Amino acid sequence: MRKVSRRLTALGAFFVLAVGLAACGSGVPGNSVADVAGNPISTQAFNHWMFVAAKSQSAQNPTAPVIVPNDPPQFDHCVAQVRRQIPALAKTATKQLRSDCKQLFTSLSSQVMDFLIKGYWYQAEAARDHIKVTNAQVERAFNKAKQQQFPNGAGFQTFLTQTGQTLNDILFRFRINQIYQKLLARHTHSVTAAAIQAYYKNHQSQFGTPETRDIRIVLAKTSARANAAKKALQSGKSWNTVVNKYSIDPTSKKTGGLLVGVVRGQQDAALDKAAFAAPLNQLIGPVRGQFGYYVFEVTKITQSTQQSLAQATPLIRQTLVGQQQTNAQNAITATARKHWLSQTKCRAEYAMNDCSGYTAPKAPTGATR
């Protein structure tokens, strides 16, 4: 598996487009990769967005070569260019390189298909819900964003060239985003004061810190040994000396018996109860616990803190809005899938999760890492 990962990493920087696949697949026109409720996604459109996706991928590695169009299912162009431009893979078996090229193609192809199919689904959902987005609304949103990113207009054409997109591509993205935002609005509502108060009440521990105590302990095997340790401490012996002689706890022995920042419920139940009831700087014990007999002293108490509802409100509001957004996104996808998955037909070479009847390939067995 490590060898496969290294090969795919080396290949991943310069993936390519797919052209010239044979027309097949039930219910899909010959010049299309998919059909959504009678609306075809043309091979030309798919190839264009594959180009955009590949440009985006290669932008992450500017030194990677620009590759020519690919030719599945054999991927001969991909294999040839890998041999020319990645010396470390030049002697790799052709069968293996074809498999790697196919794996990368499938990954990028699935991303593009998901983008295009979801775009159709969201438009269809908007029509079902009588949601309208006008050209004027799209243009206003686009012009606002363009003004913010390219205040003087300079650089926009360069941006298009670098990303492989056209103005119509950008407008299409803005249209889908406008539709998606309106669909989200159908599933979200204002966060009320009552909801914030209820969240605060049920999650108070998130908005404060518990009391902590620093405790020095000697854990002795018997009551007699614990009493001997206590007398030694009372006579002026140091904790390090007494702990080294009497304690059977290997962890606290390394720190002279000191446990720092202990929170209620962390220690042996008997020690926990006694220590959190004890006053500061008073030698106490022996206390019989699960593991032996404790002699201890609380050396520091840090009081608990708690934010008020008013202090916690901004974070709670942000949390609840985020939860709403996630729930709304999941609801939109689930509803769109329910309405349109059965009407989304894809050619076999492009099949993925958003295609009717798709079954994910089984992972290879017997692979070792």
Domains of the chain: 211-303 (3.10.50.40)
Q: How many CB atoms lie within 10 A of CB 210?
A: 13
Q: How far apart are CA 295 and CA 288, in angstroms?
A: 9
CA dihedral 85, 91, 97, 98 (to 10 degrees): 100
Q: How far apart are CA 29 and CA 327, in angstroms?
A: 36
Return the HEC string of 39-52: EEEEHHHHHHHHHH
Instruction: Provide the pLDDT for residue 306.
Output: 95
Beta carbons of 207 and 311 less than 8 angstroms apart: yes
| Helix residue spans in the chain (DSSP H) | 2-12, 43-59, 76-85, 94-128, 135-149, 156-163, 167-187, 193-202, 223-234, 239-246, 250-253, 269-275, 309-340
Question: What pLDDT, in 10s, does the model give residues 174-190?
Answer: 999 999 999 999 999 99
The residues, any chain, with a CB within 8 Å of residue 235's CB and separated by 6 or more, are none
Question: What pLDDT, in 10s, does the model give residues 197-218?
Answer: 999 999 999 999 999 999 999 9
Q: Please choose, from the candidates 200, 347, 213, 199, the residue with its C-alpha nearest in 3D space to the C-alpha of residue 279.
A: 213
Q: Which helix (H) or strand (E) holds 213?
A: strand 212-220
Question: What pLDDT, in 10s, does the model give residues 145-163?
Answer: 999 999 887 899 999 988 9
pTM of the full structure: 0.67
360 pLDDT band, cuts 50/70/90, is confident
Instruction: Provide the pLDDT for residue 67.
Output: 44
